[in-house]
């Protein structure tokens, strides 16, 4: 594999725009899911995840403004693909909403981290910060593990849901790189099969951690 060319200034900004759109939409989805669930335990987890996503959006928005970029224009190219993804993966209940965060968000976060491996340290720092755990990952993991251990039928249903989410998340990644060539260019000459193999390996480890099988 030949060395990737240094990223142009537009590429990190395009990635910030993508991630700002991702985090703002995550806030909207998680807040809506929190509002629909009757369980206070799940409501608190989802509300906390929503709050964390909005704080990350604000940091990315501010970075774009500091760079002289209109954040909303930077977000616009990705809006349709991200909205379509959430439309196809609407959870039926709070447990499916939690699995969606655990599975799809994690797969896409792994993809974005891969995208910045060959960029400058500042860009890597901003992206990793925007994808950092907001303090609810351990609670989420424990909630899913407990559900899988106490209800075999629920565990089976959530495992099937997770399998569907994997396919949708990988399709989402493809759609985003097509709509935003500056983002796709960040991967340079990376072998796509190898990269996705690493991402799937991490996903499978996460599924084992909560005793779900997709």
Q: What is the pLDDT of residues 143-172, one digit of tens each?
A: 899 988 999 999 999 999 999 999 998 888
CB 101 within 8 A of CB 49: yes
Tens digits of per-residue pLDDT, 68-80? 999 999 999 889 8
Q: What per-residue confidence (pLDDT) applies to 212?
A: 84
125 falls within a domain: yes
Vertex 173 angle, CA 120 and 121, to 5°: 10
d(CA 154, CA 148): 7
Q: Is the pLDDT of residue 178 over 70?
A: no
Higher pLDDT, 109 or 194: 109
d(CA 22, CA 205) in angstroms, rounded, equals 24
**Number of structural domains in the chain:** 1
User: What is this structure's pTM?
Assistant: 0.84
Between CA 156 and CA 87 the distance in angstroms is 23
- Helix H segments across the chain? 10-36, 40-66, 71-88, 94-100, 106-115, 121-130, 137-150, 152-179, 181-184, 192-209
Across 14-18, 53-57, 88-92, least confident range: 14-18
In whole angstroms, how far apart are CA 105 and each of 23, 65, 142?
Answer: 10, 25, 17
154 vs 94: CA distance, rounded Å: 12
Range of the domain at 44: 10-209
Sign of CA dihedral 61, 170, 205, 47: positive
**Cα–Cα distance measured from residue 97 to residue 188, given in angstroms and rounded to the nearest whole number:** 34
Does residue 5 form part of some domain?
no
- Residue 65 or residue 133, greater confidence: 65
- Burial of 164: CB neighbours in 10 Å, binned 0-12, 13-18, 19+: middle
| 35 found inside a domain | yes
* In a domain? residue 214: no
Which CATH number covers residue 179?
A: 1.20.1260.10
Considering the domain boundaries, does residue 22 fall inside one?
yes
Q: 3 in a domain, yes or no? A: no
Mean pLDDT of 11-25: 89
Residue 1 lies in a domain: no
């Amino acid at each position: 594999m030949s060395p990737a060319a240094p990223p142009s200034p537009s590429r990190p900004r395009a990635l910030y725009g993508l991630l700002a759109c991702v985090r703002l939409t995550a806030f909207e989805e998680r807040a809506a899911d929190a509002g629909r669930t009757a369980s206070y335990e799940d409501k608190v987890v989802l509300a906390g995840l929503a709050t964390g996503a909005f704080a990350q959006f604000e940091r990315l928005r501010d970075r774009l403004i500091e760079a002289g970029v209109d954040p909303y224009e930077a977000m616009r190219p990705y809006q349709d693909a991200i909205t379509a993804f959430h439309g196809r993966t609407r959870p039926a209940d709070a447990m499916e909403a939690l699995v969606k965060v655990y599975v799809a968000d994690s797969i896409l976060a792994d993809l974005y981290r891969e995208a910045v491996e060959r960029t400058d340290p500042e860009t890597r720092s901003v992206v990793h910060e925007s994808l950092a755990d907001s303090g609810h990952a351990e609670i989420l993991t424990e909630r899913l593990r407990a559900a899988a251990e106490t209800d075999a039928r629920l565990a089976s249903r959530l495992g099937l849901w997770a399998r569907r989410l994997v396919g949708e998340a990988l399709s989402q990644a493809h759609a985003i790189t097509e709509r935003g060539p500056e983002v796709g260019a960040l991967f340079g000459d990376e072998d796509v099969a190898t990269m996705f193999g690493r991402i799937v390996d991490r996903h499978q480890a996460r599924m084992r951690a909560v005793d779900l099988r997709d």
